[in-house]
Amino acid sequence: MNYTPEQTAGFHQHSLALIRVKEQDHVLRIRLNRPEKKNALNRTLLWELAFALHYARHHTDVWAVVLEAEGDVFCSGADLKGLMGGGLEGGSTIPAPKGEVLLAELFRNLHRPCIAQVEGDVLAGGMLLLTGCTHVIASNDIHMALPEVKRGLFPFQVLAALLEVMPARRALDWCLRGYPLDAEQAHELGLITQVCIREQIRQEVNALLESLLANSPSAIRLGLEAYARLRDEHAQERHQYLMGMLMKTMQTQDAREGIAAFKEKREPVWKGS
């Protein structure tokens, strides 16, 4: 656990730089707010998201969470450079987390219904936000892609998360080839719960919330706690291993070449090492 109940007790008194939050009628709405960087997860954004989700987990007055994003990209994955060292930006006042923040673990330990309201494209590690949610309602004009292999990398943690929501061979094929999926294709694979036109997405999210909030919050909380336990008692060790594999892959010549080729807008020349 990255934050204690005592640390999150004053959640709404903290200054937040890269997320916006609103708590009303037992619902905590979290909006990623780094659109100029396609909501890529740097240290500040990741820590603030972790702080908000721990607040929701620790405080029983929060019965459900809605995850939104500013801009035309819901999340483009990890800002690898922005995750390495440095302090918090933009005047964020949240405390530093205890231990490494693992996205999959944040959602696994939330024990609350969490709805992703997706109105922008989702790329690479941004898929961990969707797979972590209990429900995903998406606009019919969005796309998803896993471009890591085209950059000399591999979506290790994403693959682990995908295996819990879609057929294994389809998940592996997507990771190995990195092609884009449209909203309907993602819905067929189980990545999206519901697809609707952009103008109706808030109405559909609110209808789902109304249905969820009509039920016992304690029964739902304990049910989701049991579900998390059933999925994998060793999930944290698994995700730490996969993070280590990502770091190992980033040290390869292919990774350096793939990232350079992407920045230079050319085809990479692979070396296989």
pLDDT bracket for residue 48 (50, 70, 90): very high
Residue 81 or residue 256, greater confidence: 256
Torsion angles phi and psi, residue 215, rounded to 5: -100, 170
pLDDT above 80 for 84: no
Q: What is the pLDDT of residue 132?
A: 95
Q: What is the pLDDT of residue 82?
A: 52
Q: What is the pLDDT of residue 209?
A: 98
Average confidence (pLDDT) over 239-268: 87
Helix (H) or strand (E) holding 115: strand 114-118
Token couple for 247: 């770091």
Distance CA 83, CA 66 (A): 24
Q: What is the pLDDT of residue 106?
A: 93
Average confidence (pLDDT) over 217-230: 92
pLDDT above 70 for 182: yes
Flag the least confident range among 157-171, 179-193, 215-229, 242-256.
242-256
Q: What is the mean pLDDT of the chain?
A: 92
Residue 230 or residue 72, greater confidence: 72
Average confidence (pLDDT) over 180-185: 97
pLDDT above 80 for 161: yes
pLDDT above 70 for 83: no
Distance CA 41, CA 73 (A): 12
Average confidence (pLDDT) over 209-219: 96
Q: What is the pLDDT of residue 21?
A: 98
pLDDT bracket for residue 24 (50, 70, 90): very high
pLDDT above 80 for 237: no
Q: What is the pLDDT of residue 104?
A: 87
According to DSSP, the residues that pair with 144 across neighbouring strands are 122, 181
- What percent of the chain is modeled with pLDDT above 70? 95
pLDDT bracket for residue 259 (50, 70, 90): confident
Average confidence (pLDDT) over 112-117: 98
Please provide the CATH number assigned to the domain covering 5-264. Answer: 3.90.226.10
Q: Sheet harboring 135-139: ordered strands across? A: 19-24, 27-32, 64-69, 114-118, 135-139, 194-196
Rounded (10°) CA dihedral 204, 205, 211, 213:
-160
- What percent of the chain is modeled with pLDDT above 90? 77
